[in-house]
Amino acid sequence: MKSKQTQRIGILTAGGDSPGLNAAIRAVGKAAIGTYGYDVLGFKDGFLGLAQNNYTALNKATLGGILTVGGTILGTSRDKPHKMQIDGKVYDMTDEIVANYKKLKLKALVCIGGGGTHKNALRLMKAGLNIITLPKTIDNDVALTDATIGFDTALGIAAEALDRLHSTAHSHHRIIVAEIMGHRAGWLTLGAGIGGGADVVLIPEIPYDIDKAAEAIKRRDRKHANFSIVAVAEGALSKQYAKAFAAATARKKQAKTDEERQMAKAELRQLDAKHSGNTWRLAAELEEKTGLEARVSILGYVQRGGTPSVTDRLLATRLGTECAGLIHQGVFGVMVAARGNSVKPVPIESVAGNLKTIPLEHQWIESARRVGTCLGD
Ligand code: F6P
């Protein structure tokens, strides 16, 4: 009798790392091996490993002991299949990726990532690969899922940082401006700002008026609370900047010729460059407008590092084990999304290119306002 060949899947992690990636790899791997009897390969450093056929076999031993470990045992990168930097040159590696996938006889490829990964996953889907994704990013900005792997851990770290900044701001009667990660979405800043009791919270979704922020700080000062904590997202924009960005983005969308598109893109790049250092400028302006001393604290990569919270481990395990089940059923082209207490496959096509920002009517925004937090508007 002919024995049935063991089925094989691949996993990769791409984009910025986030706590809980290993828990997700473990969940997909353990369920695929233990429940369905598959072989599992882990590609190194995101799509780069897939393009270069650089992988490691995952088994019960290598998947053991990683649930609580931060980062990703597979490594990650921001390499895109169609624009890959190899030895200083950029290559379209889509054909190599398809060839490696076929050569390894993969039944499916699991891509664990955020916004960029979903765009790349869609490209590979269109090139004929069976793709299934899991949402991860500390930014929580992936469309169609309630939560992303890593967000809860980062939220805890950022809120704890704000707690700690309170006592030093209080002792020195200072304004402390804490920069929190998130270029396009303010989930982390607003969540940590509410949980950590920031007095002013500035997020990309609500362009700010510096005078409103300064006034809120002065009001506190008049009430003898002569210190303030300002939580600002990396991507928070002043009203003027937001206007300029919106105009350039509209020009890019409406461009009729390639020249017009290139000009709008160059304009956006210039605005991006001008925006860097915004937190420092904000602190200097607040100092000038309030007469209080201001300091900056950039929370940075600390937010992405270390042990994942139990909530992230649980989320990663729920999504990862469901992912293995869907592969076994032959369901591809989907992201496994968190929906309340349940998990649900949603089309990758509806996720890619769609950012989940905070809706202006979101309850977090209303709650922040009701406890007197200034949102800069
Ligand atoms: O997308 C996650 C994220 O951590 C953002 O919050 C942050 O702006 C960005 O990645 C930093 O990217 P990199 O790791 O490429 O510096």
Give the residue whose CA is nearest to atom 4 of ligand 1: 16
- Beta bridge partner(s), residue 297: 178
Probe ligand 1: pick from 118, 183, 272, 301, max atoms within 8 Å of CB? 183
Please name the residue whose Cα sits nearest to atom 11 of ligand 1.
16
Q: How far is the CA of 9 from the centre of ligand 1 (A)?
A: 28
pLDDT digits (tens, 9 = 90+) for 256-281: 999 999 999 999 999 999 999 999 99
Percent of the chain residues topping a pLDDT of 90: 95
Kindly give the number of the ligand 1 atom that is closest to the alpha carbon of 139: 6
Q: Whose CA is nearest to atom 9 of ligand 1?
A: 16
pLDDT of 222 reads 86
- Matching residue, tokens 């302006």: 285
Tokens linked to 93: 């590696």
The best mutation among 181, 187, 188, 190 to test binding of ligand 1, ranked by most ligand atoms within 8 Å of the C-beta, falls on: 181
pLDDT exceeds cutoff 90 at 1: no
Ligand 1, atom nearest to 234 Cα: 8
Q: Which of 18, 21, 139 to mutate to test the pocket of ligand 1 (most atoms within 8 A of CB)?
A: 139
Q: Find the 48 Cα to ligand 1 centroid distance in Å.
A: 18
Closest atom, ligand 1, to C-alpha of 188: 6
Tell me, in angstroms, the distance from the centre of ligand 1 to residue 192's CA.
Answer: 17
User: Of 161, 188, 198, 169, nearest to 302 (Cα)?
Assistant: 161
Choose the weakest-confidence range: 70-74, 222-226, 241-245, 288-292: 222-226
Ligand 1 pocket (Cβ < 6 Å) reads 16, 78, 114, 137-139, 181-183, 234, 304
pLDDT of residue 192 exceeding 80:
yes
Confidence of residue 3 (pLDDT cuts 50, 70, 90): low
Q: Calculate the CA 5 to chain-centre distance.
A: 38
For CATH 3.40.50.450, list the domain ranges present in the chain: 8-149+308-351
pTM for the model: 0.95
| 209 CA to centre of ligand 1 in angstroms | 26
Which superfamily is assigned to 154-305 in CATH? Phosphofructokinase domain (3.40.50.460)
Is there a contact between 138 and 146 (Cβ–Cβ < 8 Å)?
A: no
Among protein residues, the one with the nearest Cα to ligand 1's atom 13 is 16
Query: Which tens digits make up the pLDDT trace of 291-311?
Result: 999 999 999 999 999 999 999
Residue 139 a catalytic site member = yes
Pocket test for ligand 1, best of 78, 138, 179, 298 (most atoms within 8 A of CB): 138
C-alpha–C-alpha distance, residues 180 and 83, integer Å: 29
Looking at residue 221, its pLDDT comes to 80
How would you label 82-95 residue by residue, b for 16+ Cβ within 10 Å and e otherwise? Answer: bebeeeeeeeebbe
Give me ligand 1 centre to Cα 99, in Å: 31
Contact in structure between 339 and 100 (CB atoms under 8 Å): no
Band the pLDDT of 55: cuts 50, 70, 90: very high
Is the per-residue pLDDT at 115 higher than 60?
A: yes
Q: What's the CA-to-centroid distance between 101 and ligand 1, angstroms? A: 28
Residue whose CA is at the smallest distance from ligand 1 atom 15: 16
Q: Which CATH class is domain 8-149+308-351?
A: alpha beta
CA 16 to ligand 1 center in whole angstroms: 6
In the chain, residues under CATH classification 3.40.50.460 are 154-305
Strand 106-113 versus strand 8-13 pairing type: parallel
Choose, from 139, 141, 152, 312, the residue flagged as catalytic.
Answer: 139
Which residue puts its alpha carbon closest to atom 10 of ligand 1? Answer: 16
| pLDDT of amino acid 208 | 98
